[in-house]
Amino acid sequence: MKKIFISVIVFVFSVLSYSQSDANSILRDLQNKYNSIADLSVDYSQKAGGKVILSGKIIFKKENKYRIENKNQVIGSDGNSSWNYNTSQKKYVITNYDSENNSIYSINYLVYQLPNECILSARTEGNIRVLELIPKTTNLQFRKIELWINSENLIQKIVLSDFNSNTNEINLSNYKLNQKISDSLFSFNPPEGTKIIDLR
């Protein structure tokens, strides 16, 4: 009986070790892919409770430039300032860029920063590799995040589970890489009549 128990422990430990090793390998492949990307654009749709609640486009350029567009908002940064334009309220808010931005839409955060704050494990779903990130501490405001990674080492889906077992799902499609996107896309001139709030 004792030998069986020890064998089970060794088996469980070896499975966990393999999962950790596999997760580190997947993360390395993911980071190497994004290291090779100077800029990208991708379409996104966000689901909550099984329903699409938001859709639009994400545009990213190294090092810290991004633009997120949807029906009611345009959000972006030129690496020095961050801005948010609400189209329905005609309100434009501008702040200093926060290098610690922990938005789920931030590629830098998801690919480079967040994994250091989490325990990693991995599994496969067909030809998709799923990297699971569980926070090491309670400082992060979620229970786990899954990054669904396709055969090209690009994130295809992000699934966030909160502490109430609610899930948010972001699907990414129609990637376009290394298009030499102009820096002008990451600044914004609000239209006339816009309420401007400058918090810098």
pLDDT digits (tens, 9 = 90+) for 1-60: 544 444 444 444 434 444 666 899 999 999 999 999 999 999 999 998 888 888 999 999
- Count the alpha carbons within 13 Å of 109 in the hemisphere toward its beta carbon: 14
Q: Are the beta carbons of 154 and 162 closer than 8 angstroms?
A: no
As to burial, measured by CB atoms within 10 angstroms (0-12 exposed, 13-18 middle, 19+ buried), residue 99 is exposed
Q: Strand, helix or coil at 44? A: strand
Domain harbouring 54, CATH code: 2.50.20.10
- Predicted confidence band of residue 119 (pLDDT cuts 50, 70, 90): very high
Kindly list the distances between the CA atom of residue 92 and the CA atoms of 89, 163, 188, in Å, as whole numbers in the listed order.
9, 33, 9
Confidence (pLDDT) at 154: 96
In this structure, of 14-28, 153-167, 177-191, the range with the lowest mean pLDDT score is: 14-28
What percentage of residues in the chain have a pLDDT greater than 70? 87
Task: For residues 52 and 49, give the distance between their C-alpha atoms in angstroms, rounded to a whole number.
Answer: 8
Rg, the chain, Cα only:
20
Q: Mean pLDDT across the stretch 138-154?
A: 91
* pTM metric for this prediction: 0.82
* Residue 127 structural domain: 2-198
Nearest-angstrom CA–CA distance, 185 and 196 = 19
Strands (E), the chain: 39-48, 51-61, 65-70, 73-77, 81-86, 91-96, 118-125, 128-135, 144-149, 155-161, 167-177, 195-198
21, 64, 107 from 35: Cα distances, Å: 21, 13, 11
Counting the structural domains of the chain, the total is 1
User: Using alpha carbons only, what angle is made at residue 146 by residues 139 and 16, rounded to the nearest 5 degrees?
Assistant: 90
Residue 49 half-sphere exposure toward CB, CA atoms < 13 A: 1
